């Protein structure tokens, strides 16, 4: 095998590998892709232990609020619906957990989004466990958890997803 063949083989393998890792998200509607953003890292390219500066440099939506313990971004899903992306920090201002809080106006949008998110997380992590009689909990191979719950009330429809370590 000559040098050119080796380089070509490496390129093709790495290209196939990157397409495979990205292919899961591309199967889902644009709303899901917009929120998840990418599958590198734990949450939108960030990992537990990342600093505020690292998160700010990676996040592509506008920062809406910042405190010692949180960074909050809001992303528009469509003309009526949005989601807050919350990065929770520990005392050293490093990421300790992440959350997506969907604020929805349409009950059908809520149902469809929950169906697609459940399918996405099932594909990524395997089957969920039901906790608190209604919330879904996925366990990652890396040792963190993703919990999805319906937090709707009289004020409106909400879905909350939290990424955390126990």
pLDDT digits (tens, 9 = 90+) for 69-117: 999 999 998 888 999 999 999 999 999 999 999 999 888 888 999 999 9
Predicted TM-score (pTM) of this structure: 0.83
Report the run of H or E that residue 8 belongs to, with start and end.
helix 3-26
Is the per-residue pLDDT at 136 higher than 80?
A: yes
Return the structure tokens found at 65: 């609020």
Residue with tokens 């949008």: 109
Residue with tokens 């644009």: 30
Residue of higher predicted confidence among 23 and 120: 120
Segment 13-31 shows an average pLDDT of 63
Is the per-residue pLDDT at 146 higher than 70?
A: yes
Give Cα separations from 36 to 22, 40, 75, 113 (angstroms): 12, 10, 11, 12
Is the per-residue pLDDT at 15 higher than 70?
A: no
Lowest pLDDT segment from 53-62, 115-124, 152-161: 152-161
**Beta bridge partner(s), residue 147:** 137, 162
Please give the pLDDT value at position 1. 52
Return the structure tokens found at 110: 């809520």
Segment 29-40 shows an average pLDDT of 92
């Amino acid at each position: 095998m000559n040098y050119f063949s080796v380089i070509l083989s490496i390129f093709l393998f790495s290209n196939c590998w990157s397409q495979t890792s990205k292919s899961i998200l591309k199967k889902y509607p644009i709303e899901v892709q917009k929120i998840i953003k990418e599958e590198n890292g734990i949450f939108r390219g960030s990992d537990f232990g990342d600093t505020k500066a690292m998160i700010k440099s990676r996040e592509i939506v506008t920062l809406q609020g910042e405190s010692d313990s949180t960074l909050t971004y809001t992303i528009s899903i469509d003309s009526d619906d949005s989601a807050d992306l919350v990065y929770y920090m520990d005392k050293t201002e490093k990421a300790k957990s992440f959350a997506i809080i969907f604020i929805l106006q349409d009950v059908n949008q809520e149902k469809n989004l929950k169906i697609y998110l459940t399918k996405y997380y099932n594909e990524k992590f395997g089957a969920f466990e039901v906790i608190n009689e209604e919330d879904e909990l996925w366990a990652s191979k890396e040792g963190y958890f993703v919990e999805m719950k319906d937090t709707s009330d009289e004020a409106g429809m909400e879905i909350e997803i939290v990424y955390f370590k126990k």
